[in-house]
Chains A and B, each alone.
Chain A
Amino acid sequence: MIRIENLHKRFGKLTVLDGLDLEIKSGGIFAILGPNGSGKTTLIKCLLGMVIPTSGKIIHDNESVLHKWRYRNKINYLPQIANFPANLTVNELLRMVKNLRPKVPNDKELISKFGVEPFLNKKLGNLSGGTKQKINIILTFMFDSDLIILDEPTTGLDPISLIYLKKIIQAEKAKGKTILVTTHIMSLVDEIADEIVFILDGKIYFKGTVDMLKKETEQINLEHAIANLMEKENV
C-alpha cells in the first residue's frame, strides 16, 4: 500500500506537485492520467526516490521511503525512454540487472514470449527502438514485486507485443499486485484500468473508477470524459 501526504515539489520557481494527497490500496491497476507537465512522472519519480520532494510524506508498506534505497527491491519500474549502454549485449544487460537485485528472476519465459532470442547476443546499440522497449519490459517484469510502475509502457511496441504486454499486466493483477500506469492512450486505460487517478496542476483532481468518471462528467466515452475534466479546469 502507498500513502502520500501533502507532497510538494518545486523545481526552482516552477511548482510541479502542490500538496498532493493520494492513497493506493494493494491490488489492482491504477492509471495515472493528466495533461503534459501535470506532474505524473514527477510523482512516480518521487515514489522511486529519483526526485527528492520539497516536503511531504511517502509511505510504502508502512515505511517512509524518503532517503532510503532498499525498499526499491519491492518495486519494478519501467522507465519512459529505453536507452541502454550501446556496447553491451542484451545478455550482459540482463545479467547486470539481475546482479543488482537479490531476487530470483524469471526472464526465460518473457524472452521467448517477446521473441527476442535472436537478439540476445547483439549489441544494444544496434537494436531498433521497439526491440529496446521489449528489453525494457523484460527487465521490468522479470522480478516478482508487489508494486509495478509503468511509465508510458506502449511506446514503440508492435501490435503482438502490445497484446502480450496487456496479458502480462492482467496476469500480474491476478496475482494481487498493484500496478501504476501512466499513459496518454485512453483505449488502454479503458481496457485495463480499475481506477483512474487524474492529476492536474500538481494535485489529485479525480480518483475513482472509469464508470464513476463517466458518470461525473456525463460522457459515455472515456476520451471525452478526460477531455471534459481538462476543460473544466480551464473555464
Chain B
Amino acid sequence: MYKILKYSFFDLMRSRWSYVYFIFYLILGFVLLFLNNDVSKAVITLMNIIVVLTPLIGTIFGVMYYYNSKEFTELLLAQPIKRNKIFMGQYLGISLSLTLSLVLGLGIPFLAYGIFKSTAIFDFVLLLVTGSFLNFIFVALAFNIALSNENKIKGFGYAILMWLFLAVIYDGLFIISLLMFNDYPIDKFSLIATMFNPIDLSRILILLKLDISALLGYTGAIFKKFFGTNFGLFSSLLVLSLWVLFPILRINSKLKKKDF
C-alpha cells in the first residue's frame, strides 16, 4: 500500500492543480491576515471557506483521479498485490496531497503573521484538522461514487450532486423542517441531523472552539447545551472519524465484488 501511496502522492503533488489549490490558500491566508489584522475574524472567514471548498475540491479530485487512472489501475491490478492495497494507496495519496496543499497554503501565511505568539494557535490548528478531515471524508465518498458508477459522466454528476446536497440543500431542508415542526421538541432530531452531515458538523466543531455563540445557530446551541464545549469537541471529532471510517469500509467491501 505504501508503495502505491508514494507514487500517487508524487504524481499528484506535481500536478498543476495541486499548485493552483496551494496558491489559492496561500493568497487567501495572506490577504485575510494582513488586511484584517484580527486573527479570530480571519479564522472565521477561513472556516466558512474551508467547510465548503475542501469538500468540493476533495470530491472533484477523488472522482477525477479514479476515472483518469482507470487504465493504470488495471495494470496495477495485474501485479501481485491485493486489490484493496492499490485503492487504499491511491486514496491516501490523494487525501494527503490535498491536505498538504491546505496545511502549507494556510500555514505559511499564518507563520509569517506570527501565529505562535498568538493565542489563536489552537483555533488555527483545529481549523486545519477539520479541513483535513473533510479532505479524507470527501475523497472517500468520491471514491465510493466512482466505484459504483462505470459511466464517467454519471459518476461525476452524482459526486457534484452529493457535494451540493451536503453543502447547500441539506441546510435548507434542515431549516424548513425546523420551521415546520416548530411546535415539537426537536432537539434530538436536529442533533442527529447534524451528525449526518460532515460539513455542518465541522462548522459546529470550529464554532464551539471559537466560542462565538452568535454564530453557533440553533443546532450549535443545542450541541453546546447537550455536550458542553469540550465533550462537544470530542464527540464531533469522533463522528468525523466515523465519517472517514464508514466510506473506507464500503470501498473495501465494494472492491471484493468489483469487476475491472
**A72 interface neighbour in B10, B72, B80, B259, Cβ under 8 Å:** B80
Tally of contact residues, A, Cβ under 8 A: 33
Most B-side CB within 10 Å, residue of A85, A99, A123: A85
Residues of A within 8 A of B80 (CB): 69-73, 100-102
Q: Compute how far the CA of A81 lies from the CA of B14 in the bound complex, rounded to whole angstroms.
A: 23
Determine if B74 and A96 form an interchain contact, defined as CB atoms under 8 angstroms apart. no
Contacts of B11 in A (CB 8 A): 85-88
CB <8 Å contact, A72 and B78: yes
Interface string of A112-148 (1 = CB under 8 A from B): 0000000000010000000000001001000000000
Q: Does B209 contact A (CB under 8 A)?
A: no
Is the pair A69, B83 in contact by a Cβ cutoff of 8 Å? yes
**Interface residue tally on B, bucketed by range:** 20 to 34
In the complex, are the beta carbons of B82 and A69 less than 8 A apart?
yes
Residue of B14, B15, B78, B257 touching A48 (CB-CB under 8 A):
B78
Question: What residue of chain B has the Cβ atom nearest to residue A83's Cβ?
Answer: B71
Please report the C-alpha to C-alpha distance between residue A69 and residue B260 in the assembled complex, in whole angstroms: 15
* Other-chain residue from A49, A87, A101 in contact with B77 (beta carbon distance below 8 A): A49
B 237-260 binary contact with A (CB < 8 Å = 1; else 0): 000000000000000000001111
Q: Which residues of A contact B10 (CB under 8 A)?
A: 87-88, 92
Task: Pick the residue among A45, A83, A86, A97 that contacts B79 (CB under 8 A).
Answer: A97
A84 to B81, CA, bound (A): 18
Binary per-residue interface labels of chain B (15-32) against chain A in the complex, 1 for a CB within 8 Å, 0 otherwise = 100000000000000000
Establish whether residues B75 and A79, one from each chain, have CB atoms under 8 Å apart when the complex forms: yes
B8 sits at the interface (CB 8 A): yes
